[in-house]
């Protein structure tokens, strides 16, 4: 995953699904009606999977909401001119970044862009570097910074998608359990935070290089975010 310079605007996307089952923050059923408010500002935060690697999920998510006449707009410091719509160009997806790389500016970026929702999907590079010992603590601090930037924000944190390397794959499963535990603890403390399980949705066949999603993989990611958001706002 190629390195890119960090810029002062952030879209937070993380890799997990959280929309509460019996108060535990995991969505299960597909909503019959999507009650997401319109318009809605979304900040997508993550690594190269969020930025888009031979595709992106932001364009697909926009189309899903447009089909039910809900207006969404992505905000953030990085502009992707290859995106299909001006509404999906902004994001905070940075290649080869780990969770702790977002600590320095998350508070300021969230405060600056004032998103209604943050989609956070990270941890792939933590696992690829065989270093997940401090990832859960890093995630806790990143979440703190987001809520300091905007206390009433709604945060969706995704699990890390599968990686087609045997040892790394085991690290991903361990990391995803930690991510889920962090989200659950914050939810029990009263935060509007939900765990989104992207790991269970994507298979290795949905990755074109063993790490990054192919077109079918991005479609699954977009659909999972969509279902999670519709379920949460429909409560």
Q: How far apart are CA 102 and CA 190, in angstroms?
A: 23
Question: How many structural domains does the chain have?
Answer: 1
Residue 108 lies in a domain: yes
Residue 85 lies in a domain: yes
Residue 72 lies in a domain: yes
Residue 48 lies in a domain: yes
Quote the pLDDT of residue 32: 58
What predicted TM-score, i.e. pTM, was given to this entire model?
0.86
Q: How far apart are CA 26 and CA 20, in angstroms?
A: 4
Q: What is the CATH number of the domain that holds 49?
A: 3.40.50.1110
Quote the pLDDT of residue 203: 93
* Matching residue, tokens 């408010």: 37
Domain that holds residue 111: 40-233
Residue 27 lies in a domain: no
CA geometry: angle 86, 56, 92, nearest 5 deg:
70
Q: Which of 89, 57, 85, 64 is nearest to 76 (CA)?
A: 89
Q: Which of 163, 107, 153 is nearest to 132 (CA)?
A: 163
Residue 13 lies in a domain: no
Query: 114 vs 2, 67, 178, CA distance in Å?
Result: 29, 25, 28
Main-chain dihedrals φ then ψ at residue 74, nearest 5 degrees: -85, 140
Q: Which of 113, 202, 123 is nearest to 164 (CA)?
A: 202
Phi-psi region of 169 (alpha: psi -120 to 50; beta: other; left: phi over 0): alpha
Are 41 and 113 a contacting pair, CB within 8 Å?
yes
Are 1 and 211 a contacting pair, CB within 8 Å?
yes
Q: How far apart are CA 158 and CA 50, in angstroms?
A: 11
Quote the pLDDT of residue 217: 96
Q: What is the mean pLDDT of each run of 10 residues along the chain (235 residues)?
A: 40 38 42 85 97 93 97 97 96 95 95 98 95 96 98 98 89 97 97 97 93 96 97 83
Residue 3 lies in a domain: no
Q: How far apart are CA 206 and CA 233, in angstroms?
A: 28
Looking at the DSSP assignment, which residues form a beta bridge with residue 220?
Answer: none
Residue 86 lies in a domain: yes
First-to-last C-alpha distance (Å) of the chain: 38
């Amino acid at each position: 995953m190629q390195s890119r310079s960090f810029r002062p605007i952030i879209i937070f996307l993380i890799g997990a699904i959280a929309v509460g089952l019996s108060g535990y923050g995991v969505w299960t059923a597909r909503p019959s009606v999507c009650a997401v408010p319109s318009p809605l500002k979304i900040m997508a935060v993550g690594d190269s999977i969020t930025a888009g690697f031979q595709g992106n999920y932001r364009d697909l998510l926009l189309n899903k909401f447009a089909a039910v006449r809900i207006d969404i707009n992505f905000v953030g410091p990085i502009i992707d001119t290859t995106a299909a719509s001006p509404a999906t160009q902004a994001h905070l997806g940075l290649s080869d970044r780990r969770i702790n790389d977002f600590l320095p500016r998350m508070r300021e970026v969230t405060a600056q862009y004032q998103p209604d929702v943050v989609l956070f999907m990270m941890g792939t590079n933590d696992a690829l570097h065989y270093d997940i010992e401090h990832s859960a603590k890093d995630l806790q601090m990143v979440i703190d910074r987001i809520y300091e930037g905007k206390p009433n924000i709604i945060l969706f944190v995704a699990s890390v998608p599968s990686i087609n390397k045997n040892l790394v794959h085991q690290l991903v499963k361990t990391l995803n359990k930690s991510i889920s535990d962090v989200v659950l603890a914050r939810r029990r403390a009263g935060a509007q935070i939900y765990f989104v399980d992207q790991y269970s949705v994507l298979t290795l066949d949905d990755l074109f290089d063993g790490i990054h999603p192919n077109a079918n993989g991005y479609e699954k990611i977009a659909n999972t975010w969509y279902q999670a958001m519709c379920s949460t706002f429909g409560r």
